[in-house]
Amino acid sequence: MTSSRPTANLEAVSKGFDVLLALPKPEPVPNLPRSPLYSAIYNSFDGPRRSVNDEVANEIYGTLSGKLDAHLQRILNGATQLEGVALLEYYSAQWTCYSSLAEALTQVCSYLTRPWLRVTSQYRTDVYPVDILALTRWKALFVDGLQEPDQKLTKALLSLIASHTENPTASSNLLKPVLSSLVSLGYSRETTDPIFVDSSHWRYRPRLREIETVNLDIYKDVFERPFLIESGMRFRERAKVLISGPLGGYARDKIMDGWVGGIDRLAGVFPSEETRYELLKIPRRVVVWR
């Protein structure tokens, strides 16, 4: 006979997710076992040993994923009319709140993570730890939504970079959180040789050993590549104007040194040293003083 307890607790789980998602900025749960949402998830697994029920665990995970998608769609809708600095300010504020939400969700879903996600994520490429799930949905729903069809986020970042000389402090403070978020989205799995898993409620079966890594692919696609292309074009245009002007070689050298210094100061806000290295290579290719 199937217990009615899991069904009742699944309703509590769904309502608990709604409450957490509605908070302006969720805070870490100070006393986790007494958290209503944590208790609802814990009690969804029946029996004295809280044995994992695949169907229940899948439903909890699917509910969380669906509610995150709906939440992110609302965030994306809020950015419809925003461009430039306004868009980046909105992105930064939403990212701060969403990061807190991901941390809170990771806490309250910790029981689900221990007995089920840890094993299931080794077999299903669409299942992640809760914190990684939150990142993958942010990228798929919000970042990709901003980028399609006209790369609004990239354009806003490049526009802010272009105005950096006018207000370097303000632009740096806005660039850092947005670029750092793009770096944190670069999650990937690498599969190695299979191992065998033993668990009290799972049969022996081969499991692929996986290594979780962070890469810069999203950061490069959204920002670094278009930024370096535009920087090279802008620098060459300025160099042509300088060469064709009336200034002598020494004066041109001083102006060029100032440009390079500005580039170096700007590069301090980039989360990747490779971006700075590639950026500083641009003026070396355009040797206007020779």
- Write the DSSP assignment of 42-97 as a string of letters: HHTS-TTTT---HHHHHHHHHHHHHHHHHHHHHHHHHTTT--HHHHHHHHHHHHHH
**Domain range holding 271?**
225-285
State the pTM of this model: 0.81
Q: What percent of the chain has pLDDT over 70?
A: 68
Point out the domain boundary residue: 124, 148, 172.
148
Instruction: Tell me the CATH number at 114.
Output: 1.20.1310.10
pLDDT mean over 34-57? 67
User: Number of folded domains in the chain?
Assistant: 2
Give the span between the Cα atoms of 186 and 213, in whole angstroms.
Answer: 8
Is the per-residue pLDDT at 103 higher than 60? yes
pLDDT greater at residue 52 or residue 154: 154
pLDDT at res. 204: 38
- Residue 168 covered by a domain: no
Integer Cα distance of 54 and 260 in angstroms? 59
**273 occurs within a structural domain:** yes
User: Do residues 257 and 132 share a domain?
Assistant: no
Longest dimension (CA), the chain: 92
